[in-house]
Amino acid sequence: MRHTIPETDARRLLGGGPVALVTTAWRAATNVMPAAFVTPLSIDPPLIGVAVHPARHTHDMIKFSEEFALNIPTRALLHHVQYLGSVTGAELNKLELTRLPTFRARKVQAPLLEGCVGWIECGVDDAYRIGDHTLFVGKVAAAAAEQDAFDDTWLLANEDERPLHYLGVNFYAVLGERLQARIPQPAEIKADVEAGVAELGDEEEAAKRREAREAEAERRDRGDAE
C-alpha cells in the first residue's frame, strides 16, 4: 500500500544524513545548533552547503563571522542534539549551559565539540536565499575524524562511534551495517548492454543468471558457426 505524503514532508524521505552540530564564534560569543540540511556540493574545490533559517541565531553568527564548523555527534549526544535545537543562542549561552567540552579548531574561530566523531571547518564562500532558508556554501578549510569511526568512509564497527542521523520530529537513527557493493567490470557492462539486461540484485542469483546467459550466447555462437 502506498500513501501520499504532504509536499512539505517530502524532505523526510531524504532524511537520514548525519546530523551536524554547527558551531560558530563571533567576537566573544559562541553558539551551537543542530542542522539536518547539510550537503556536499563540490569535491574540488571542497564545498559543503548548510541551509539555515534566517530566524536562527546561528544565521547571524555565520553571516558576521563568515565561518562555521560542523561537528558530527554520536548517540551519546542524542538528547543534547534535541536540546540544542530547541533553544536559541540569542537568549542564552548553549555551550556553557550544556557544559559541552570544546577544543580549538585549526582554521576557524568556532570551537569544536569533544565527544563528536567528525569535524569540518569551513569559511563561507557564498550565500544564497533559497525558499525560506539561506544556503551558506562553506569551503572546507580543515577536516578531521576519529580513527576508529572513519577511515575513507564511516566504518560503523563500534556502536558508540556511529554518526547520529536525523529522521525528523524528535526521531534519530544510527546506521546498522556497512555494505560493500560489487564494482561492475567494463567487460561485464558491455555484455549486459549487448544482452539488454543487467544481472543485479542477489549476488549468487545474479552470477548464476549471468553464467546461464554466457552459456546460451556460447551455444548460439556455436550454432551460428555450424
Ligand X SMILES: Cc1cc2nc3c(=O)[nH]c(=O)nc-3n(C[C@H](O)[C@H](O)[C@H](O)COP(=O)(O)O)c2cc1C
Residues that bind ligand X (CB under 6 A): 19, 31, 33-37, 51-53, 56-58, 81-82, 85-90, 133, 166
Per-residue DSSP letters for 159-170? GGGSPPEEEETT
Of residues 87 and 200, the one with the C-beta less far from ligand X = 87
Q: Which three cell numbers stand for residue 191?
A: 555484455
Q: Return the number of other C-beta atoms located less than 10 Å from residue 221's C-beta.
A: 10
Q: Residue with CB nearest ligand X?
A: 85
Min dist CB 208 to ligand X, Å, is 45
Identify the sign of the CA torsion 48, 45, 71, 55: negative
Q: Tell me the C-alpha distance between 136 and 122, whole Å.
A: 10
Closer Cβ to ligand X, 138 or 210, answer by number: 138
The CB-of-134 to ligand X minimum distance in angstroms stands at 8
Rounded to the nearest whole angstrom, what is the least distance from the CB of residue 165 to ligand X in the complex?
A: 9
Partners of 127 in the beta sheet?
A: 136
The C-alpha cell at 117 is 566523531
CA dihedral 170, 113, 148, 166 (to 10 degrees): 20
Q: Retrieve residue 2's grid coordinates.
A: 502506498
Cβ of residue 88: shortest distance to ligand X, in angstroms? 3
Residue 34 or 210 with smaller CB distance to ligand X: 34
DSSP run (H or E) holding 61? helix 57-65
Strands (E), the chain: 20-26, 29-35, 38-42, 47-52, 67-72, 102-103, 112-113, 118-130, 133-145, 150-151, 153-154, 165-168, 171-173
Provide the minimum distance between the beta carbon of 15 and ligand X in the complex, in angstroms, as a whole number.
10
Whichever of 82 and 209 has its CB closer to ligand X, that residue is 82
Q: How far is the CB of 188 from ligand X (least distance, A)?
A: 40
Residue 36 or residue 69: which is nearer to ligand X going by CB? 36
| Nearer residue to ligand X within complex by CB, 88 or 98 | 88
